[in-house]
Structure 1
């Protein structure tokens, strides 16, 4: 997902086996003072302030399809618009740019109708031609662009039937085509780009720079005002098509400021002093302290909001010794997941032994898979078993160093990379977010803390299919990104598992044949263990009601609440001024 997700501190203990313990970070090395509003004419009561903790070295890249591009600085939430949105709270696929979709009985043809009056922020009509142009661009440049792998895999052809109607002809049946690609199961989906500005450009290198308003053109309710590595400011487009046509209310905030605040303590103090409107503390105790300091702060709920992406340790299965499933299981047995929960979340939350979040729709699959996972030992903390497995592969414990040494005299070690913004302890190798995304996608890592299996929120196939061999690219070649992470970054390839994914993918959500196929695939995954599941991810969101009300909370759950997701577009249309 993003750096806005929970931050972790990791210490790698070496005493013959590895134990990864993650803990809270109360501050990060980087610091940036809150910046002042660029547009001084906009009153605080009319301004929405959403701080972030990611500094963006190249702020003038507005092409969302270049792998590694950071889009959570407001591009994803204020500017871009998807055709549809998957609403976790209702389970519905709601129309946004589009008003409806239909499919042929065999699920190989999907027809999408745009809403009347859709328009780009430069006043040009947004039509079927723009959607067709975008899809064909992704087809042509696969796998070099985000989402292009899925488009090439599934879209045989796309055509505009008229200026409001798009027809997709697929390579085979896919009952999830709209949900996966045009609505998005988590933070983002395919979004159209304006043909009149992109035609003739090389989308692999085209930055779509702002250029005094000639670029960075999208269809959302806000437009770029000012930007730098340390702050992005957006002003409301009062002529936004959504409000002008009556499709949606015009958002109340006149301006949205997204400053970079690298120090967690400073960022949380901004909430307490009403200098920001939404953020998330690290722990329940921090949340309670902030609420005591500012009674206008409203938590999402007492246990936080469960993020759809459990945290994992992804291993590069092309690199020894992690190409050996026995060693992957040994590392998994060395992980004390309950200590992670106790330290990071003060006992709130849960450990994880697979890729699914603990959502109601996923519970039948979570329950149905426990016997398989327990039998395979996934999620079990057992240092003795870890020792046993390591030694079974010819490693011997060196009494002097306390480390295992292999038959060739090499010390057993693991190099774990993590995005610097998650606050992982310096004992691990920290790299800047964009570099992390790029290296992760290209398979240029040994192990990485991430959310590799994220995506299943209403059914099992999406997240599990991320381990299909179809996503495997050669080391050094960019992978295909979904939800801020590369599908099958660890390059695991299993023919039988992939064939089961193909069978599941042809079945409608809720088909009774899904469960037995799921269990077969799960048994293979648990035996091979391409990733090491760690913990569920509670997010302690706080909403400031001093200036804005009607936030998406547990008792007002009209849509999922993260302020860095595309769904925040809906939140913007629902916020009400408090003053």
Structure 2
């Protein structure tokens, strides 16, 4: 399904660069081990010279070799403790899990999951350590796993949900985990608190939350919806609603409470790990030997005794640290650099080792357009841009050709969405939505009354040039950086005056309130069936300019009653490729999306998750796992607590 390119020639880099490294940085010592790799063909690759401290040279070369010698560092018989653990109790390196989370430093002073950036704090480290959910979902085997909850049930009209909690769970300070914690978090801290990061999404779906007794939750929905429980409370991928301890948060300002005080045991959670150090160079969590799940016989104490979340700089630095066995897990890699890394250290694996492939991903890289501001308030401009942008160029530049262009945000790497895609394939092929077609873009623009001026730019009826201002959260995200270049350059070639604005400062807040014209982001959702994503464009999730949208994936602010009616009907039907009524609605909704183009889907976002087996085994792979290897999704927590020492 993916266009895959095995970048074997990267294996030759260490030999070629041995002399270059010596020339560029002769003071650095290279520790080598001999590994033989056969390469049968000549290709052009971008070559990275890695020495002890930093990357010093990059150049493009042609290589053709039969065998190569590469460099890696073997762990010593007694591995040293992980960096940044000074002053803490001794935990050997081979019982420590080191996770690279990118960037240059962390913000150790804020673990508030409800204030701005809360979802990022959940997905970066909290859901791998101290935070647990009522339910988990295995995206690889498709099973819902009750955890802090035992079960759930809808009423006959699908507008009430009853959740039954476990009676043996407790917080890390020993306080029982009860329904009042759930009610307090979801009702008082989120639904009744417009400043909460989750307010608009939860308030749009849930009218109120009740706790009839200590272990029962009742959700009163705003309208009948038999999908919302899975989307909001079970899948825990893009939307991860936390439950927080009432006895800690009551009386605190949910906007300003930082939730960090190691002396008081904060943050208090139900997870298997407790915070022991918070510093810019590392967030460190030690195993909680009083963890409720071990005491209740739900799961054994994890073999992992310490987790270190380390800001590891750029990808080249991370690659070097993986080769030295200083890092156990890196979230996402460029394909070529990953191949180079696992040649240096053959104990580094990915989701599927051979043939080389990304971990199946639920997200697309997309160009999101504010449908309420010019020129993106005209569907013709949005649709023309879709054909003007060279999506294959995005795939080549940002993913080295290892992903594919897309038309709609269906995660076709998963069995469910792949089956539904076949039901609309004819619509996409007839329209050519995923193809680069600047001629068609020009036809659409001319039919809508636009023309090109003497400089070749598209202008409106008043002769004003259409400005395509694309915001990009780069340089924080290397894939976005490269994707932005491809998008802007191809749009310019098609006559659009396109410019790119880069930077993270204020980015997420601006897009949430409609203060950006267009931007690159991810559209994630349909990992099971289309409704998961199509509901993001429902008018209920839109908002006026200046108001916060219900969910960041609803930021296009698309509003169409005809589309809403179709999605509402989809939400009340059993989702199945064999359900003719559901498929008919799905096809009609897709036709509207292809016509109005509220958002341009570019390519499938591929993640190569590098997992180091030097110290830890049991990583999730395509051959063995019931879970995915996507660390930012909640289910990966269960991979962590199952890991076993390699020795």
TM-score category, normalised to shorter length:
0.7 to 0.9
Aligned partner (choices 322, 325, 329) of residue 278 of structure 1: 329
Q: Which residue of the partner structure matches residue 10 of structure 1?
A: none
Q: Which residue of the partner structure matches residue 206 of structure 1?
A: 257
Q: Which residue of the partner structure matches residue 349 of structure 1?
A: 403
1:330 pairs with 2:384: yes
Q: Does the 8 A contact of 2:204 with 2:550 survive in 1?
A: no
Q: Which residue of the partner structure matches residue 571 of structure 2?
A: 505
Q: Which residue of the partner structure matches residue 575 of structure 1?
A: 643
SS of the equivalent of 2:509 reads: helix
Moved more, 313-322 or 140-149: 140-149
1:39-95 deviation digits (Å, cap 9, x = unpaired): 372211111011112456743222212233331331122111110011112211111
Q: Which residue of the partner structure matches residue 436 of structure 2?
A: 381
Deviation at 1:207, TM superposition (A): 3.1
Q: Does the 8 A contact of 1:25 with 1:282 survive in 2?
A: no
Tell me the distance in 1 between the aligned counterparts of 2:261 and 2:515: 32
Deviation at 1:112, TM superposition (A): 1.5
1:463 pairs with 2:463: no
Q: Which residue of the partner structure matches residue 4 of structure 2?
A: none
**Mapping of 1:256-405 within 5 angstroms?**
256-280=307-331, 282-301=333-352, 302-358=356-412, 359-399=414-454, 401-405=455-459
Aligned partner (choices 501, 505, 530) of residue 429 of structure 1: 501
Tell me the distance in 1 between the aligned counterparts of 2:283 and 2:155: 43
1:82-121 deviation digits (Å, cap 9, x = unpaired): 1001111221111111122223233233222222321111
Moved more, 223-232 or 549-558: 223-232
Gaps of 5+ in 1: 1-22
SS of the equivalent of 1:132 reads: helix
Structure 1 109/277 Cα, relative in aligned 2: closer, same or farther at 3 Å? same
Q: Which residue of the partner structure matches residue 522 of structure 2?
A: 451
Q: Which residue of the partner structure matches residue 196 of structure 1?
A: 247
1:231 pairs with 2:299: no
Q: Does the 8 A contact of 2:100 with 2:331 survive in 1?
A: no
Structure 1 97/226 Cα, relative in aligned 2: closer, same or farther at 3 Å? same
Deviation at 1:520, TM superposition (A): 1.4
Q: Which residue of the partner structure matches residue 490 of structure 1?
A: 556
Tell me the distance in 1 between the aligned counterparts of 2:47 and 2:559: 36
Q: Which has the larger radius of gyration?
A: 2
Tell me the distance in 2 between the aligned counterparts of 1:131 and 1:519: 38
Higher relative contact order (CA 8 A, sep 6+): 1
Moved more, 63-72 or 82-91: 63-72
Tell me the distance in 1 between the aligned counterparts of 2:562 and 2:46: 40
Q: Does the 8 A contact of 2:513 with 2:547 survive in 1?
A: yes
Gaps of 5+ in 2: 1-44, 56-81, 486-498
Structure 1 192/500 Cα, relative in aligned 2: closer, same or farther at 3 Å? same
Deviation at 1:380, TM superposition (A): 2.2
Tell me the distance in 2 between the aligned counterparts of 1:557 and 1:24: 33
Tell me the distance in 2 between the aligned counterparts of 1:308 and 1:171: 27
1:1-22 deviation digits (Å, cap 9, x = unpaired): xxxxxxxxxxxxxxxxxxxxxx
Structure 1 93/261 Cα, relative in aligned 2: closer, same or farther at 3 Å? same
Tell me the distance in 2 between the aligned counterparts of 1:164 and 1:383: 59
Tell me the distance in 2 between the aligned counterparts of 1:261 and 1:341: 26
Tell me the distance in 1 between the aligned counterparts of 2:384 and 2:172: 54
Q: Which residue of the partner structure matches residue 14 of structure 1?
A: none
Q: Does the 8 A contact of 2:404 with 2:603 survive in 1?
A: yes
Structure 1 503/229 Cα, relative in aligned 2: closer, same or farther at 3 Å? farther
Q: CA RMSD in A?
A: 2.7
Tell me the distance in 1 between the aligned counterparts of 2:333 and 2:385: 27
SS of the equivalent of 1:539 reads: coil
Q: Does the 8 A contact of 2:190 with 2:196 survive in 1?
A: no
1:332-372 deviation digits (Å, cap 9, x = unpaired): 11111122223333332221110111121112221111222
Structure 1 25/230 Cα, relative in aligned 2: closer, same or farther at 3 Å? farther
SS of the equivalent of 1:338 reads: helix
Aligned partner (choices 16, 36, 43) of residue 84 of structure 2: 36
Q: Does the 8 A contact of 2:367 with 2:602 survive in 1?
A: yes
SS of the equivalent of 2:562 reads: helix
Deviation at 1:261, TM superposition (A): 1.8
SS of the equivalent of 1:310 reads: strand
Tell me the distance in 2 between the aligned counterparts of 1:73 and 1:60: 15
Q: Which residue of the partner structure matches residue 539 of structure 1?
A: 607
Corresponding pairs, count: 547
Q: Does the 8 A contact of 1:58 with 1:229 survive in 2?
A: yes
Tell me the distance in 2 between the aligned counterparts of 1:75 and 1:172: 32
1:520-547 deviation digits (Å, cap 9, x = unpaired): 1111111100000111122212211100
Deviation at 1:460, TM superposition (A): 1.0
Q: Does the 8 A contact of 1:187 with 1:566 survive in 2?
A: no
SS of the equivalent of 1:534 reads: strand
Q: Which residue of the partner structure matches residue 490 of structure 2?
A: none
Q: Which residue of the partner structure matches residue 479 of structure 1?
A: 549
Q: Which residue of the partner structure matches residue 548 of structure 1?
A: 616
